[in-house]
Structures are given as structure tokens and as C-alpha cells.
Amino acid sequence: MTGATAGGDPRLARLLDGPSSGASGPAGGRTPALVVVDVQRDFGEPARIAGYGLDDRASAAVDAAIVRIGALVDEARAAGVPVVWVELGSDPSAPWHSSTWLRGGPLDGPMPEDEPCRIGTAGAEWYRTAPAPGETRVVKRGYSGFLGTDLEARLTTAGIGWLTVVGLTSECCVFATAQDAMQLGWPVVVPSDATAAYDVDVHDAALTMIELNIGVVTDAAETTELWRAWAASPVGAP
């Protein structure tokens, strides 16, 4: 075992400690949650992402990450870890003009027809994994799952103490969501093999930045071990 109970990163082991007396705020609890970001057809389906110019390594990495995300969802449910789903919903009635401009388009006017994850289109559908009835879903308009949503309030109300963030893509929406989570007070764990970018070097750079300033970079196997240890602990799932 390579995880927190077998001489791994001591920060992970501390996530298994019970809350301190009088602790408050996000880190005052110890219940984990899995946050799945943007595993949608427009970001994961090969035919839809081909225009981003992936090479064979990047294509394989995206496919492998999606497979591992599905496996982590199953593991989270088995361990009693809440699964939270964050999805992009591009609203034609409220175009994101700064994003359009950044990609070479105009600063005003209607939303481009090729805008990813337009609300109500097939591209916005979950890809190869999906929420179960009753699991939390949050629709965002930009990169971070916290920006302009009630995600912070919902996690706090649920007593969530730390987060595992996975999804697409590592340098963009996963990075932004993990960064905001950390700044709002949640310890963050990012499995390196349960996220990906459309360029392997970009993915590696994103993980370096996450590890420097945002959270602990681990892998899917170690994350699963950590959840199982939590579930077996006195403060774990019933």
C-alpha cells in the first residue's frame, strides 16, 4: 500500500484525523467529497476534441483519465464518499465575450455556434460517466465550479472537509476549481491520472503548479486507499 497509512505523504494521513475541538469552516469536518469537473462530450469525445490538435499520447491520456474517473466514481460511492458533479453550461442568452475574444472572436455579439457545452445540446451531455439520482450537480458558466454558483454553500452545508478534484482539463477547469476550493479553505487532492489536458506537456505543467500552490498530487489508487481508510475510521461513513 502506497497511501497515507503506509508511509505516504503525511498531509494525506492528517486528512484522516478527526476534527479538532471547536473547529469550524470547511476544514472543520473530515468528510471527503469527489468533485467531477466537465467530463462532457464536448471535452472528452474524440470526434469533438479533434480540433484541439491532440497527438496520440494526449488522446490516450484523455481516454485513460476518463476511464479512471469512472472507476473513482464507483469507488467513491462504495466508500460512502459524496460525488459532486460540476458541468459547463454555456448559455446563448449570456455569451462569455471575454472567452470568445481570447480565442480570436469578437468582444460582443451572439454566442458562437461552436461554443462548447451549449445548454440543451448533445455536447453538454456527460460522457461515459454520469450522476446518480440524488447526487449534487452544479452548472457553471466559466472555468471554476465555484464562480457564480452555490457550490461553496452546498459543500459547507453537507459538512465536507476535503476534496478530490478530477476531470477535464487539468490546466483549465480542474485547475480553476481546485484553486478556488483551496482558497476557500478546503484541502485538495488531485489524482494525476484522473485528469488530462490536450497536450501532455501542458498537463505536466498544470500538475506542477497544482502541487506548488493548490493541493497534493496523488493518483487514483492512492486516493481510493485514502477513501477506504476514511470509511473504516471512527469518523468515516456509517
Residues labelled catalytic: 173
Closest CA to 85 of 157, 15, 149, 156: 149
Per the structure block, which three cell numbers stand in for 188? 485538495
Q: Which residues of 66-94 are buried (b: 16+ CB within 10 A; e: fewer)?
A: bebbbebbebbeebebbbbbbbbebeeee
Per the structure block, which three cell numbers stand in for 20? 479538532
Q: Crossing angle of helices 173-183/200-213, nearest 10°?
A: 0
Task: Answer whether 231's CB lies under 8 Å from 34's CB.
Answer: no
As a whole number of angstroms, the distance between CA 188 and CA 165 comes to 7
Per the structure block, which three cell numbers stand in for 3? 497511501
